Every structure is written in structure tokens, then in C-alpha cells.
Amino acid sequence: MIMNERAAPTPCASLERIERRYTRRDGAVTALDAVDLEIARGEMLALMGPSGSGKSTLLHVLGLLDTPTAGRYRLDGEDVSRLDDDSRSTRRNEKIGFVFQAFHLVPHLTLQENASLPLVYRGVHEDERRDRAATALRKVGLDHRLTHLPDEVSGGEQQRAAIARALIHEPPLLLADEPTGNLDETSAESILDLVRSIHQGGTTVVLVTHNPHVAAMAERTQEIRDGRLL
Ligand SMILES: Nc1ncnc2c1ncn2[C@@H]1O[C@H](COP(=O)(O)OP(=O)(O)OP(=O)(O)O)[C@@H](O)[C@H]1O
Ligand SMILES: [Mg+2]
């Protein structure tokens, strides 16, 4: 009998032999091929690789925006590889914040309304939504932009609003797909500072980037080529 054995802490996310194949008119593409990856709670991981190597596909699988065609994905210890659409949406809403390169804000909603969207899906009352969105926008330095529409603010401000939206329900895992790819250098720097402080606050972060300086900010860098981790 083994005494004093301490159970290893449950990883935030764990992928085992994950495969994602697409069928296209010109044949099948294996975007992810036997990917094994463990992401510890609270860590910050940078994902790097050439265009078409599978970075976004991997992030979409981690974010429950896409389903692997084979393999096992455990999120917070729960096997989420074969959940139906409803359960997948629920888990995504509870556990994941997602930030895209192209911001993906709803153009006819104010920044405050955009930031509050995840709370609509959770059935939070309107007054509370407004308050929490204002708080989230204040945290990312946008308290003077609550009633602006996305096209009335800069790219950096749009990305800040997208980050506020991603974090409004305080998910444990933040996934960011080239979040500074559409920004000038100064705005990119300040978005990276923001991501760094979110990570320091305890959130697990996975960041896709082409930029080695950005990757250097993470604790660990994972390279991907042709759908395989190196
Ligand atoms: N919906 C899709 N249907 C068919 N093939 C796809 C689809 N999405 C991605 N692929 C293919 O899967 C592979 C990986 O794509 P992915 O978007 O993950 O690459 P990436 O590393 O994010 O590239 P980039 O740096 O250009 O964003 C590519 O060969 C791509 O053409
Ligand atoms: Mg991509």
C-alpha cells in the first residue's frame, strides 16, 4: 500500500490523441493529428506555428467551438469530447473566455451591451448585466466608452471590449487567437499588458501568436507544424 500519496492536481485542460479532420471537395485535411497536450491551472501557454499549422483549430477545440473527430478532451477533469451541443454551450459559457484577432463585436450594440452578452445567455437580469458590464469595461480601461458603438472606437479599444466580454463571467480559461494581429504596435503592447495582468490574477491563458516577443511573455511555448505538436 502506498502511504502519503498526494493526488496530482487536475489540469485545467488535457488533450489525448486529439484529431480533427476536415472533408473538403479537394480531399480530407488533417488539421490536428494525435495531439497530446496538458494545460496546468493558472499557467500561460503560447502556441506558435506557421499559417495553416492548426493553431486556430486547436484553440477552437479547447474552447468547445469545434469538436474533435477522435481523441479525448478533458476540461477541468470532465470528459467533454462527446457532449451534445447544449451541454457544450453550457460548459463554454461557464468555463471559457474567447478572444479573436478580428474582435467579433456585434456592430449595432454599444460596448457595454457587447460586454454583457455572455450574461444574457446566462439569464442575468438587465440591471445587473449593465452594472457588471460597466465594471468589466472599467477594468480594461474603457469606462469612458460604455455607450460607444464598436466602429466609434479604435481597434485597441475594440479588443479591450472583446476581452471585457470574454471575462465578464470570470471563466477560469482565457483563449486568445492572435489578439494583437490587427493592432498597431502601441495598442498591441497595451493589450498584452492586459492579458499579462489577467494571467497574474489567476486565469489560465492560451495565446496563439506569430510573434516570438509575445510568446516570450508566456511560461511555456508550444510549437505546432502540420497539425502535430513538436
Ligand atoms: N472549416 C474548415 N474546412 C476545411 N479545412 C479547414 C477548415 N478550417 C481549417 N481548415 C484547414 O485546417 C488546417 C489548419 O487550419 P488553422 O486555421 O487551424 O491554421 P492556423 O495555424 O490557425 O493558421 P493561421 O496562422 O493562418 O491562422 C489548414 O490546412 C486549413 O486549411
Ligand atoms: Mg489561425
Ligand nearest to the CA of 177: 2
Ligand nearest to the CA of 52: 1
> What's the mean pLDDT in 34-58?
97
Element (H, E) at 139: helix 126-139
CA angle 86, 90, 94 (to 5 degrees): 170
Structural domain that includes position 186: 41-68+81-229
> What's the mean pLDDT in 79-93?
93
Asked whether the CA dihedral 183, 172, 136, 216 is positive or negative, the reply is: negative
Whole-number mean pLDDT of the chain?
A: 93
Question: In this predicted structure, what is the pLDDT of residue 28?
Answer: 92
Query: What is the distance in A from the centroid of ligand 2 to the CA of 52?
Result: 7
Ligand 1 near 64 CB (within 6 A): no
Query: What is the distance in A from the centroid of ligand 2 to the CA of 177?
Result: 7
Residue 218 within a domain? yes
Residue 123 within a domain? yes
Query: What is the distance in A from the centroid of ligand 2 to the CA of 222?
Result: 15
Residue bearing the CA closest to ligand 1, atom 22: 56
Name the pLDDT band for 8 (thresholds 50, 70, 90).
confident
> What's the mean pLDDT in 130-155?
96
Name the pLDDT band for 104 (thresholds 50, 70, 90).
very high
Task: Give the residue, 43 or 213, on which the prediction is more confident.
Answer: 43
Residue 3 within a domain? no
> What's the mean pLDDT in 196-201?
94
Q: Are 161 and 150 in contact (CB under 8 A)?
A: yes
Classify residue 65 as left (phi > 0), alpha (psi -120 to 50) or beta: alpha
Task: Give how many domains the chain has, as a whole number.
Answer: 1
Residue 31 within a domain? no
Residue 16 within a domain? no
Residue 106 within a domain? yes
CATH (domain of 58): 3.40.50.300
Residue type, 11: P
Quick one: which atom of ligand 1 is closest to the CA of 58? 18
Ligand 1 near 68 CB (within 6 A): no
pTM: 0.93
Q: Are 94 and 171 in contact (CB under 8 A)?
A: yes
Query: What is the distance in A from the centroid of ligand 1 to the CA of 58?
Result: 10
Residue 149 within a domain? yes
Query: What is the distance in A from the centroid of ligand 1 to the CA of 227?
Result: 9
Q: How far apart are CA 116 and CA 179, in angstroms?
A: 20
Residue 2 within a domain? no
